[in-house]
Amino acid sequence: MNKKYGNPGGTSEYPVIYRNLMSAGLLGSIYRLGADANIINAAVELTLDDPRHFRTYRAVALAMAGQVDYAQRVLGSQIEEHPQDDEAKVALALSLLLGGDTDWRAWIDNVLATSDDQPAREAALGVLSYVGSPQFVH
């Protein structure tokens, strides 16, 4: 089996049962099924050659449940190791925003002011657009 996480917007090389396991772990995080979700997510991470993308998704899922500590620890560490990882900065900002932490805006401003990574800039603008939309509830 190819251990690469795959293209989030495209087809995955994982069997359906494995993708379902990933989904169950992330949904378990959102619905605060802590112990069970942690077991599934940890098992998934162990199978990946590079678990960074999955960890990013997990950080956002946990933030949706109001738990930003994972995002701060994991994505913060990733940014410390790779200061130019603008994708991680946007994911951290989104996680902080979803978790109600007001420090989210500094990460978005950093990406918009310093990044030449067009997809990261577009994602940062998407976060700002979301905040300005009627769907966003403070």
At 85 the pLDDT is 95
- Cα 56 from Cα 51, distance rounded (Å): 9
- Cα 32 from Cα 45, distance rounded (Å): 19
Residue 134 pLDDT class (50, 70, 90 cuts): confident
Average pLDDT over residues 58-73: 92
Q: Check if the beta carbon of residue 112 is closer than 8 Å to that of residue 126.
A: no
Residue 5 pLDDT class (50, 70, 90 cuts): very low
pTM (global) more than 0.85:
no
In the chain, the largest separation of any two C-alpha atoms, in whole Å, equals: 43
CATH architecture group of domain 16-131: Alpha Horseshoe (1.25)
At 19 the pLDDT is 84
Which has more pLDDT, 135 or 40?
40
At 12 the pLDDT is 56
75-105 pLDDT tens trace: 999 999 999 999 999 999 999 999 989 999 9
